[in-house]
Amino acid sequence: MLITIRKPSDAKEVEVTPQVLFESRRRFIKTAALGVAGGAVAFTLPGAPDARAVVTAGNGEKLAGIVDGPYATTEKLTPYKDVTTYNNFYEFGTSKSDPAENAKNFITRPWTVSIEGEVAKPGVVDVEDLIRSHQLEERIYRHRCVEAWSMVVPWVGVPLSAILKRVEPTSNAKFVAFETLYDPKRMPGQNRSVLDWPYVEGLRLDEAMNPLAILAVGVYGERMPAQNGAPIRLVTPWKYGFKGIKSIVKIRLVRDMPPTTWNKSAAREYGFYANVNPRVDHPRWSQAKERRIGEFFRRKTLMFNGYGAEVADMYRTMDLSKNF
């Protein structure tokens, strides 16, 4: 067993997170006065009260033609300012504030995504064409970071399954591999060897086809800010946030489980599946509770981040303490 149960008092270590940085004595931003209210949270289908009524977006470019997606939550949205200034995006720096500061001039147009591998119709799609050719949906999802903090984010995007179906996966396709742009001139964090660049991630094909999985191109009804993964990123709300690879340039369908950046960096700490699981702790801190950005008290973390009804069946035969 590689999991160690920690006491709640270990909270400061939670904020430090990645071992590779912990060991190199890097400084991490402290998050003041953040906590989480105890008790369960609600996951509801359409018809729930509109949590968007209590928030305002930024001043970015609005996305047109957005419809409400099939999933939402009644929980209060995390303020736009926090969503866009408290980020993990190591391509722009390791502190939470670095992405917003260092990605200001990140150019994301034109931008293409190559879809290749075990597909009948490989190709390169322009992100603008992708946006125009699909119905944009707003999905209000809980976002749970492996560092034990969380947000509620109104993403805008399209189902990943819709894009994969366009390229017609072959019977050999078992996994989906993702790759981020590698360009140290545009992404200054890539000049540091804190991770093995470019950032790569992966999903099992059935996970990628799950209705919850989306490729997001915006938040709060606006185009995706650079610090959040512009122009297109993965969102899988039942998994820890590091699974949400940003600024995607390549999607490759493959036969074998692909490598993932954090798993390569610290396999004991970051498994391939990265499913939110309060019963499987990170080796250096508990995952039983989380602190919701903007709240004082910590709240209990829900299995699969509260999306068990939609995803648990995919893992029913797996030992989740080993396949974490």
DSSP 159: E
Tell me if 145 is assigned to a ligand binding site.
yes
Tell me if 305 is assigned to a ligand binding site.
no
Tell me if 233 is assigned to a ligand binding site.
yes
Both tokens of 305, joined, read 């981040």
Closest to 249 measured CA to CA, from 187, 169, 174: 187
The residues pairing with 124 across neighbouring beta strands, listed in sequence order, are 114
Tell me if 30 is assigned to a ligand binding site.
no
Strand 137-144 vs strand 67-68: parallel, antiparallel, or unpaired? parallel
Tell me if 87 is assigned to a ligand binding site.
yes
| Residue that has been written with the tokens 């390791």 in this structure | 94
Both tokens of 134, joined, read 């699909």
Alpha-carbon dihedral angle through residues 6, 12, 17, 23, given to the nearest 10 degrees = -100
**Are residues 78 and 31 in contact, defined by beta-carbon separation less than 8 angstroms?**
no
Tell me if 180 is assigned to a ligand binding site.
yes
Distance of CA 314 to the CA centre of its chain: 19
Binding residues: 87, 90-91, 145, 180, 228, 233, 244-246
Binding residues for Mo-molybdopterin: 87, 90-91, 145, 180, 228, 233, 244-246
